[in-house]
Protein backbone atom coordinates (compact mmCIF):
# COMPACT_ATOMS: atom_id res chain seq x y z
CA UNK A 1 0.00 0.00 0.00
CA UNK A 2 1.40 3.32 -1.03
CA UNK A 3 0.90 6.63 0.72
CA UNK A 4 -1.42 8.97 -1.17
CA UNK A 5 0.15 11.16 -3.82
CA UNK A 6 -1.56 14.33 -4.98
CA UNK A 7 -0.78 16.04 -8.25
CA UNK A 8 2.54 16.38 -10.03
CA UNK A 9 5.91 16.41 -8.35
CA UNK A 10 8.94 18.32 -9.58
CA UNK A 11 12.46 17.19 -8.83
CA UNK A 12 14.65 20.26 -8.66
CA UNK A 13 18.44 20.40 -8.91
CA UNK A 14 20.81 23.30 -8.41
CA UNK A 15 21.34 23.69 -12.17
CA UNK A 16 19.78 22.37 -15.35
CA UNK A 17 21.45 19.93 -17.71
CA UNK A 18 24.37 20.79 -19.96
CA UNK A 19 24.43 20.30 -23.73
CA UNK A 20 26.46 17.07 -23.78
CA UNK A 21 24.84 13.64 -23.58
CA UNK A 22 26.36 12.60 -20.30
CA UNK A 23 24.53 12.10 -17.05
CA UNK A 24 24.03 15.28 -15.07
CA UNK A 25 21.75 14.14 -12.25
CA UNK A 26 20.42 10.87 -10.93
CA UNK A 27 18.11 9.52 -8.29
CA UNK A 28 18.54 5.84 -7.39
CA UNK A 29 15.09 5.66 -5.80
CA UNK A 30 12.08 7.87 -6.41
CA UNK A 31 10.83 7.48 -2.85
CA UNK A 32 7.90 5.54 -1.45
CA UNK A 33 5.26 8.05 -2.55
CA UNK A 34 6.46 8.13 -6.20
CA UNK A 35 7.70 4.60 -6.68
CA UNK A 36 5.74 2.61 -9.30
CA UNK A 37 3.33 5.49 -9.50
CA UNK A 38 3.40 7.98 -12.33
CA UNK A 39 2.48 7.40 -15.96
CA UNK A 40 3.69 10.59 -17.59
CA UNK A 41 6.48 13.08 -17.09
CA UNK A 42 8.17 16.13 -18.53
CA UNK A 43 11.84 17.10 -18.38
CA UNK A 44 12.88 20.66 -17.62
CA UNK A 45 16.14 22.58 -17.65
CA UNK A 46 17.27 21.19 -21.04
CA UNK A 47 17.34 17.71 -19.53
CA UNK A 48 16.64 14.43 -21.26
CA UNK A 49 15.21 11.86 -18.90
CA UNK A 50 15.69 8.11 -18.52
CA UNK A 51 13.67 5.86 -16.23
CA UNK A 52 14.44 2.41 -14.85
CA UNK A 53 12.02 -0.23 -13.67
CA UNK A 54 13.93 -1.00 -10.46
CA UNK A 55 15.84 0.88 -7.82
CA UNK A 56 19.52 1.59 -8.41
CA UNK A 57 19.04 1.71 -12.18
CA UNK A 58 18.08 -1.92 -12.62
CA UNK A 59 15.67 -3.76 -14.88
CA UNK A 60 13.99 -2.38 -17.99
CA UNK A 61 15.01 1.13 -18.97
CA UNK A 62 13.51 3.74 -21.25
CA UNK A 63 15.34 5.66 -23.95
CA UNK A 64 16.27 9.26 -23.30
CA UNK A 65 13.14 11.36 -23.59
CA UNK A 66 12.14 14.97 -23.10
CA UNK A 67 8.64 14.03 -22.07
CA UNK A 68 6.15 11.23 -22.39
CA UNK A 69 2.42 11.51 -21.85
CA UNK A 70 2.02 7.74 -21.76
CA UNK A 71 5.02 5.83 -20.48
CA UNK A 72 3.75 2.54 -21.91
CA UNK A 73 5.53 -0.45 -20.42
CA UNK A 74 6.95 1.87 -17.74
CA UNK A 75 3.54 3.13 -16.65
CA UNK A 76 3.45 3.04 -12.87
CA UNK A 77 6.70 1.04 -12.79
CA UNK A 78 9.53 3.55 -12.66
CA UNK A 79 11.73 3.33 -9.57
CA UNK A 80 14.87 5.24 -10.51
CA UNK A 81 15.59 8.14 -12.81
CA UNK A 82 18.47 10.07 -14.33
CA UNK A 83 18.76 13.35 -16.21
CA UNK A 84 21.12 13.87 -19.17
CA1 LIG B 1 9.54 -0.32 -10.26
**d(CA 57, ligand 1 centre) in Å:** 10
- pLDDT single digits (tens) 60-77: 999 999 999 999 999 999
Residue 79: CA count within 13 A, CB half-sphere = 9
Q: Which among 77, 82, 9 is positioned nearest to 39, based on CA atoms?
A: 77
CA of 50 to the centre of ligand 1 (A): 13
Q: 16-73: per-residue pLDDT in tens?
A: 999 998 999 999 999 988 999 999 999 999 999 999 999 999 999 999 999 999 999 9
For residue 55, how far is its CA from the centre of ligand 1 (angstroms)?
A: 7
CA 73 to ligand 1 centroid distance, Å: 11
Spatial CB neighbours of 39, under 8 Å, sequence gap ≥ 6? 70, 71, 75, 76
pLDDT computed for residue 4 by the predictor: 63
Q: How far is the CA of 61 from the centre of ligand 1 (A)?
A: 10
Q: What is the reported pTM?
A: 0.89
The residue ranges of every structural domain in the chain are 25-83
Amino acid sequence: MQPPCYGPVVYEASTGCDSSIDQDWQLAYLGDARNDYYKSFKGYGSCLVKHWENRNFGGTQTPLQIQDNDMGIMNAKASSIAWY
